Structures are given as C-alpha cells and as structure tokens.
C-alpha cells in the first residue's frame, strides 16, 4: 500500500526543522512524498485514460505544493473540507489513499467517493469530513458557509474551521460572492483557498476577474483576512495557510488565501492548452513546477539527499503500478443498484408509520396558522431544526423585540419563532436564494435540520442549480456517504387578484422532474400540518409548496390535530366519492373541482369522484388507478400550465396502464400556456376556473 509516510527515506543530518515554518524534517520530506504521489497518480490516470481503461481524467498537476500545505494546517476528521476537483494532493494529505483514488478512476463499486457514480476527482470521504463535491463550479462555497455556520450549533467554543477550495475562474459565480458576504456578515470560521492557475479552461484571469486579482477585488470585505502567495512554493504556502487558519480558529472571521499556481497538463484530457497558451508561457510555468523546485529545496537545505529522494520516487512509482493492477480487476456497481441512496433508506415518509390519527383540539385554524404552529412544535421537539430566509425573523434588531410585534415572514408563517427559539434558530438571510438553499446543504450535511423559506416560488430560480445539482444529488452521488435532508418551504400559486406574473406562478412540475427530491402540495390546514411534520421528520430533501391563496381561506380550516400528527407522503385523499368520473387534482384546484363536481351532478345524473393527491413526488398511483378502474373516466386538473405539466405524466400513465378500463379519452385542465396577468379578468381567463372543469367533465361524461 502506498503511504504518505517517508519512513524509507534516508534523512540528512542537517537542520531538523525548517526555521520559517517550524515543520520537522520528516514532515517536509513527507510533504514532498505526497506531492509526488499525487503527480504519480495523475500520470498513471492519464495513461489509463489513453488506453481507454478509465473514462475521464482531470489532474491536480502544478497545484500540489499549496494543497499539501493546506492539508497540513487542517485536522482531518475535525475540521471540514469542501474541496474542488484539482485537490488530489490536499485530500491525500488529509488521509485519502492512492487506492481509494484509483477505485474512483475505474468506477469501482468500492470507490468510497461515489461508488462509481461520479467522475474521478470528485472527492468525498465522510470520516475525513471531506464533503462530497460536484461538477458545477462554485456551488461548494455556499455549502462551506453552512458547514462553518454549523459549528456554532454543534461545536461551540471549539476552534474547528471549514476549508473551501476553488479555481480562480469559479470565483466569478454568484455563489462565491454570496458566500463572501455571509462569511463576513457572520464572521464565520471559513478559510477560502483560491488556486489561481491563470486560466479557466481557456479564459485567462484578466478576462475573468476585474483587475485580474481576486484578492484585490475583495478589498473592503470587512473582517476578511486576505493573503497572496506563490502556491508553487511549499514553505510560503504553508506559512500563509497557517496564518489564515489561525485567524479563523481564533474567531476573527473568514480568511482568503489567493495562491498563484501552474497548470502544466491543460484543463483536462479533453483540452489542449497549446491552442491558446504560447510556448514561452508554458516554459515559464514549467520552471515553477513544485515537483522540481521543492526537492531541490530539500536537498539544498540539507533536509534530504538527492539519491534518497530518487529512491522514494521509484518506490512510489512501483507501488502505484501495483495498486493499479489490483484496482483494474475491481467490479463496478452491480446491475440493479441505480436507485440505491436516491432517497433515505432509514426513513420512508410514505410508510404507514406516518399515518397518524388526528386528535383535534381548539377552534378551526387557517392553513397559515397551522403551518406556523407545526413549525413551532417541531422546533420545540428537535433542537436541530433551524428556520431561515428573507424576512422570516420577527425582528433582526433584537433590542426592539420588546417594543414591536415582529414580522415573522411576509405571510406570517414564521411569526414568533425568533421570539421563542432565539435569533440563532430563526434568522433573516440576505436576499440570495442560492445561498439560502446552499447553506442549508452545509448545515444538513452536518446533521442539522434546516427549514429554509423561499419567499415566493417565482424567486426560487437563483437556487435552481443548488436544488437540482446539489440538494437532490447529494446522497446518491456520494453513494450514501452524505445526505442533506431539509424542508424548503415555498409559497406558490395565483388566484390572488393582482398577484400578476411574479407573485402567482406555479411550476411544481419542474421539481417533480428531479430524482432525489420529494414534492408535496397540501390543499388545507389539516394536511399542511401533517405533511409539514412528516417533511421535517423524514430524512430526505422536501419541497413543501404552500398555496398562498389557501393560506387564509375559511373553507379549508381545521382544529389542531395534535403535536404528533403526520400524513404519509404519496397517499392521496378521496375528498368526494363518485361513480362516473374521477377528477385527480391538488392544491387550489381541489376546492374548484369539488364545486365543479357538484354543478355537474346537479345538471345531470352522473356522480363525480374527486381525489386530492396531496403529494406529487411520490404520488399515489394506487388511489388514481383504483378510482379510474371504478369510474372509467378521468380528468386531471392543475393550476400549472397545461403543456408538459404534471397532468401530462399522469395522463400518459393512465393511457399506458389503464387503457382497457377507459370509456373516454383522458381529460386535462390547466392554465393557458402563458404567464399569470395582473388584470383580474385576464388572470381569470389564464388560470383554470370551475366552468372549465365543468365543461371538460361534461365532455368526458358524454363520450
């Protein structure tokens, strides 16, 4: 097995520690051993890729010195690390083995990073607190904010820090700036390492970053320690990173180390830098290669002898070759394993365990009150529940709390939570949706239960990358190593008379199309209480869609069903029995469908069944199928636009599986395929109305 120890080296008798860093001679030599091992693994992978024995390669070549330095200032399994794809030498220093890396390269089932699901160099190692990394550039910054923030809940008083790494190109992403703002606002123990190799694929840094220097651009961020260093120089890098880590550990706030490095192997094996980087520049870079300069330094300073270093390099080559032979025999993930770890295997929110009986007390409450009370009860029950978002706190200036009533959310869903549970468990965030969801990822990865609010569904889109590429993939891509269960509460929907295009949209189907995510959509106070509690107690990420129009309706109120009332996901409710037509619906169209059913029944002899799906992913196919088998006619109705909607999927499935049970075509009603307008008459025309449901029902019944 390849180790990162340097025990086989013959050490010189000169200085026993470096005077600039106080690192022992053994540590210095070991640092080179790790750098060399990293390069050796890259070279081996390059060869395997060329032989088509692995399927992707991206190297850390040229970044090794600063990465090993970063690894040495961290305490593996104590501090938290959000690496990026070039951080091979960093994660080796933290304790990942060469074998674990090559298992990832061949896509083996035993690969601890992802079990063959992600490209190699997408590091993940729960025991070492190396949090699963993905391919989108910059998404990791907001996770790091959440990880650093979790310290105050889980490890207060400790000197733990979080390290997040990136290239200079990725600092152009909004998530980087959102993170730097929050890190400075909250004085988080966050160490940011920007490994600046001068290029983002082919784009040079002066066309990427205003002024060409990210550290300078950050001037003026309060409390942020900024250090610039030659990242190919191990000694300088170690000193800078040690200084920065000490600053973070001391509670002074975040630090950023901007390290200039080289990238001798092009961006990846799919890129050829000679297309945009001239020979002279590549030669200048080559002269800075730490794999040449650092051993020279070790010999010059008398820390090791040249021959011993060369012997160690040969031994490392042999060991890597030997591991490669073994790893190439490793089996890949077994057939049939594609769904494993898509959702939690620990808690099934669709299980009968969540099928509770209500124990009603008190007067009927509105849906918004019910949500507010459920949040409070769950925060009382579980200290890990943390609520945050825009305007969700009662009053950020806590000294005014005794004088003012408090905001508690634009719809009041979170009223009095800050008052009861304190500003650490219910707090306002900057208006930055990617970081609202992204910091929840970091908090959840460390075991907290975040319940972030997105103020309006219409404004969820800056968080889309986080939701689709991070939240939903976290467990699957790390092969169960990490998870980020959270509840994203999102007010949705129209019929508001004046809500217009940016306060009325639906679009739930965008999220039901995401594997790994649960989507629920209650239509009344009782279900909102039960489904929200299930969402908080389950172990998956849940999108909890709250229809704004239903928040304060008189007809959907319910007395409180008890502090343990839960409703299982994927269980529809038949809200009206009938024999001749099934209307399958959810959200605001449940009530409209009931009204339509009554009108249809008054005008003819048919009877209509109405099913409220309640949760959309998973959804209750059994209930739909049983009802359609009984009635032989089905109408699927939703407020969201008609085309490519949730109804399209259901209609396809009904047609595919229940064709012989049908006496009429499958009907659908939804909004016009356009936006919701401000003018009330136009809004009415665009959104589905009772009359539309009656018309379509009668068409199907007459067929």
Ligand X SMILES: Cc1ncc(C[n+]2csc(CCOP(=O)(O)OP(=O)(O)O)c2C)c(N)n1
| Among 197, 370, 483, 582, contact with ligand X (rule: CB under 6 A) | 197
97/134 with CB nearer ligand X: 134
| Among 141, 199, 265, 411, contact with ligand X (rule: CB under 6 A) | 199
Nearest to 96 by CA among 116, 107, 81: 81
Phi, psi of 443 (to 5 degrees): -65, -45
| Among 167, 333, 494, 670, contact with Mg ion (rule: CB under 5 A) | 167
Binding of Mg ion at residue 60 (CB under 5 A)? Answer: no
- In whole angstroms, the minimum distance from the beta carbon of 112 to ligand X comes to 23
271/539 with CB nearer Mg ion: 271
CA distances from 614 to 116, 213, 323 (A): 36, 51, 52
199/474 with CB nearer ligand X: 199
- In whole angstroms, the minimum distance from the beta carbon of 194 to ligand X comes to 8
Binding of ligand X at residue 214 (CB under 6 A)? Answer: no
- The entry of ligand X, Mg ion, none near residue 292 (CB within 5 to 8 angstroms by kind) is none
**232-271 residues near ligand X, rule: CB under 6 A:** 267
Q: How many residues touch ligand X (CB under 6 A)?
A: 14
Token pair for residue 264? 């001798």
Stretch that binds Mg ion, among 34-42, 195-203, 220-228, 296-304 (CB under 5 A): 195-203
Q: Count CA within 13 A, CB hemisphere, residue 328.
A: 15
136/332 with CB nearer ligand X: 136
CA distances from 250 to 148, 280, 321 (A): 14, 44, 43
Cα separation of 190 and 183, whole Å? 7
> Helices (DSSP H) in 382-515: which residue ranges?
417-421, 433-445, 464-465, 474-477, 509-512
Binding of ligand X at residue 59 (CB under 6 A)? Answer: no
- The entry of Mg ion, ligand X, none near residue 87 (CB within 5 to 8 angstroms by kind) is none
DSSP for 81-146, please give it. Answer: EE--TTTHHHHHHHT--HHHHHHHHHT-TT-TTTTTSS-TT---BGGGTB----SSTTHHHHHHHH
Cα separation of 262 and 265, whole Å? 9
Q: Judge whether 420 and 381 are in contact, CB under 8 Å.
A: no
Nearest to 567 by CA among 623, 528, 621, 618: 528
- The entry of ligand X, Mg ion, none near residue 136 (CB within 5 to 8 angstroms by kind) is ligand X
Q: Judge whether 191 and 254 are in contact, CB under 8 Å.
A: yes
Q: Judge whether 470 and 482 are in contact, CB under 8 Å.
A: no
Stretch that binds Mg ion, among 109-117, 130-138, 160-168, 476-484 (CB under 5 A): 160-168
**DSSP letter, residue 666:** P
- The entry of ligand X, Mg ion, none near residue 137 (CB within 5 to 8 angstroms by kind) is ligand X
Stretch that binds ligand X, among 163-171, 287-295, 539-547, 674-682 (CB under 6 A): 163-171
Stretch that binds Mg ion, among 4-12, 190-198, 476-484, 579-587 (CB under 5 A): 190-198
- The entry of ligand X, Mg ion, none near residue 135 (CB within 5 to 8 angstroms by kind) is ligand X
- Is the four-CA dihedral 650, 655, 656, 658 of positive or negative sign? positive
Q: Judge whether 233 and 65 are in contact, CB under 8 Å.
A: yes
- In whole angstroms, the minimum distance from the beta carbon of 228 to ligand X comes to 16
Nearest to 63 by CA among 103, 92, 98: 92
Cα separation of 318 and 323, whole Å? 9
Q: Judge whether 325 and 30 are in contact, CB under 8 Å.
A: no
- In whole angstroms, the minimum distance from the beta carbon of 687 to ligand X comes to 35
197/697 with CB nearer ligand X: 197
- The entry of ligand X, Mg ion, none near residue 129 (CB within 5 to 8 angstroms by kind) is none
Binding of Mg ion at residue 197 (CB under 5 A)? Answer: yes
Q: Which residue is nearest to ligand X (CB)?
A: 167
Cα separation of 360 and 338, whole Å? 43
Stretch that binds ligand X, among 194-202, 337-345, 606-614, 682-690 (CB under 6 A): 194-202
276/461 with CB nearer Mg ion: 276
Q: Among this protein's residues, is 503 annotated catalytic?
A: yes
- In whole angstroms, the minimum distance from the beta carbon of 269 to ligand X comes to 13
Binding of ligand X at residue 167 (CB under 6 A)? Answer: yes
551-568 CB burial, b ≥16 within 10 A, e <16: bebeebbbbbbbeebbbb
Q: What is the largest CA-CA distance in the chain?
A: 102
CA distances from 646 to 621, 631, 649, 650, 685 (A): 13, 21, 6, 7, 20
- The entry of Mg ion, ligand X, none near residue 452 (CB within 5 to 8 angstroms by kind) is none
61/200 with CB nearer Mg ion: 200
168/433 with CB nearer ligand X: 168
- The entry of Mg ion, ligand X, none near residue 170 (CB within 5 to 8 angstroms by kind) is ligand X
Q: Judge whether 44 and 320 are in contact, CB under 8 Å.
A: yes
474/569 with CB nearer ligand X: 474
Token pair for residue 109? 């089932």
- The entry of ligand X, Mg ion, none near residue 417 (CB within 5 to 8 angstroms by kind) is none
In the block, residue with structure tokens 């390849």:
2
Q: Judge whether 470 and 436 are in contact, CB under 8 Å.
A: no
Cross-strand bridge partners of residue 388: 427, 452
257/610 with CB nearer Mg ion: 257
Stretch that binds ligand X, among 17-25, 161-169, 550-558, 638-646 (CB under 6 A): 161-169
342/464 with CB nearer ligand X: 464
| Among 79, 168, 433, 527, contact with ligand X (rule: CB under 6 A) | 168
- The entry of Mg ion, ligand X, none near residue 505 (CB within 5 to 8 angstroms by kind) is none
70/200 with CB nearer Mg ion: 200
**116-155 residues near ligand X, rule: CB under 6 A:** 135-137
Q: Which residue is nearest to Mg ion (CB)?
A: 167
Binding of ligand X at residue 170 (CB under 6 A)? Answer: yes
- The entry of ligand X, Mg ion, none near residue 86 (CB within 5 to 8 angstroms by kind) is ligand X
Bridge-based pairing state of the strands 190-196 and 162-167: parallel
Cα separation of 106 and 327, whole Å? 7
| Among 25, 49, 86, 549, contact with ligand X (rule: CB under 6 A) | 86
Nearest to 332 by CA among 552, 68, 105, 654: 105
Region label for 97, one of left (φ > 0), alpha (ψ between -120 and 50) or beta (otherwise): beta
- In whole angstroms, the minimum distance from the beta carbon of 167 to Mg ion comes to 4
- The entry of ligand X, Mg ion, none near residue 267 (CB within 5 to 8 angstroms by kind) is ligand X
- Identify the active-site residue in 143, 258, 503, 560: 503
- In whole angstroms, the minimum distance from the beta carbon of 236 to ligand X comes to 20
The site for Mg ion (CB under 5 A) is made up of: 167-169, 197, 200
The site for ligand X (CB under 6 A) is made up of: 86, 135-137, 166-170, 197, 199-201, 267
Catalytic residue list: 503
């Amino acid at each position: 097995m390849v180790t990162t120890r340097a025990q086989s080296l013959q050490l010189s008798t000169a200085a026993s520690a470096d005077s600039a860093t106080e690192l022992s001679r053994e540590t210095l030599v070991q640092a080179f051993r790790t750098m060399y091992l990293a390069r050796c693994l890259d070279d081996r992978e390059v060869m395997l890729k060329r032989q088509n024995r692995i399927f992707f390669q991206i190297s850390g070549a040229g970044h090794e010195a600063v990465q090993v330095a970063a690894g040495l200032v961290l305490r593996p399994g104590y501090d938290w690390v959000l690496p990026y794809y070039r951080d091979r030498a960093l994660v080796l220093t933290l304790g990942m083995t060469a074998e674990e890396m090559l298992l990832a390269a061949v896509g083996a089932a035993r690969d601890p990073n992802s079990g063959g699901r992600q490209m190699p160099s997408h590091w993940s190692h729960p025991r070492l607190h190396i949090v699963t990394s993905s391919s989108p550039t910059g998404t990791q910054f907001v996770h790091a904010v959440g990880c650093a923030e979790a310290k105050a809940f889980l490890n207060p008083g400790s000197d733990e820090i979080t390290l997040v790494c990136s290239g200079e190109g990725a600092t152009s992403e909004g998530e980087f700036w959102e993170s730097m703002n929050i890190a400075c606002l909250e004085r988080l123990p966050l160490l940011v390492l920007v490994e600046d190799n001068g290029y983002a694929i082919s784009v040079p840094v002066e066309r990427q970053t205003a002024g060409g220097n990210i550290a300078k651009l950050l001037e003026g961020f309060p409390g942020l320690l900024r250090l610039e260093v030659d990242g190919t120089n191990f000694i300088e890098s170690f000193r800078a990173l040690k200084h920065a880590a000490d600053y973070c550990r001391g509670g002074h706030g975040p630090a950023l180390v901007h390290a200039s490095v080289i990238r001798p192997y092009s961006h990846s094996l799919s890129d050829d830098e000679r297309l945009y980087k001239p020979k002279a520049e590549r030669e200048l870079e080559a002269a800075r290669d730490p794999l040449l300069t650092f051993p020279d330094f070790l010999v010059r300073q008398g820390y090791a002898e040249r021959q011993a270093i060369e012997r160690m390099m040969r031994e490392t080559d042999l060991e890597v070759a030997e591991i490669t032979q073994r790893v190439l025999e490793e089996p890949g993930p077994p057939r049939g394993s594609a769904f494993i770890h898509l959702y939690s295997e620990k808690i099934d929110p669709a299980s009968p365990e969540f099928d509770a009986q209500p124990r009603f007390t008190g007067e009927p409450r509105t849906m918004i009150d019910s949500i507010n009370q459920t949040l409070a009860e769950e925060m009382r029950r579980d200290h890990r529940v943390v609520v945050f978002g825009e305007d969700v706190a009662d009053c950020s200036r806590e000294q005014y709390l005794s004088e003012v009533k408090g905001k508690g959310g634009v719809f009041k869903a979170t009223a009095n939570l800050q008052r009861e549970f304190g500003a650490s468990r219910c707090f306002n965030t900057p208006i930055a949706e990617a970081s609202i969801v992204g910091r929840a990822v970091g908090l959840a990865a460390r075991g907290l239960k975040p319940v972030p609010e997105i103020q309006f569904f219409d404004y969820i889109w800056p968080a889309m990358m986080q939701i689709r590429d991070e939240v939903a993939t976290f467990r699957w891509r790390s092969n169960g190593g990490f998870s980020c269960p959270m509840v994203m509460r999102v007010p949705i929907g129209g019929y508001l008379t004046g809500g217009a295009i940016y306060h009325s949209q639906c679009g739930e189907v965008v999220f039901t199309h995401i594997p790994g995510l649960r989507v629920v959509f209650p239509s009344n106070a009782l279900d909102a209480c039960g489904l929200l509690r299930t969402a908080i107690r389950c172990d998956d990420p849940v999108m909890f869609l709250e229809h704004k129009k239903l928040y304060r309706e008189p007809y959907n109120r319910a007395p409180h069903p008890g502090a343990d009332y839960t409703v299982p996901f994927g269980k529809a409710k038949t809200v009206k029995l009938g024999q001749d037509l099934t209307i399958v619906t959810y959200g605001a169209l449940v009530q409209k469908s009931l009204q339509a059913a009554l009108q249809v029944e008054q005008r003819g002899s048919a009877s209509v069944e109405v099913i409220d799906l309640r949760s959309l992913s998973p959804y209750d196919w059994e209930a739909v199928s049983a009802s359609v088998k009984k009635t032989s006619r089905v109408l699927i109705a939703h407020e969201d636009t008609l085309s490519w909607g949730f109804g399209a999927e259901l209609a396809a499935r009904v047609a595919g599986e229940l064709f012989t049970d049908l006496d009429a075509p499958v009907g659908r009603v939804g909004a016009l395929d356009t936006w919701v307008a401000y003018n009330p008459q136009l809004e009415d025309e665009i959104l589905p109305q009772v009359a539309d449901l009656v018309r379509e029902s009668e068409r199907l019944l007459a067929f």
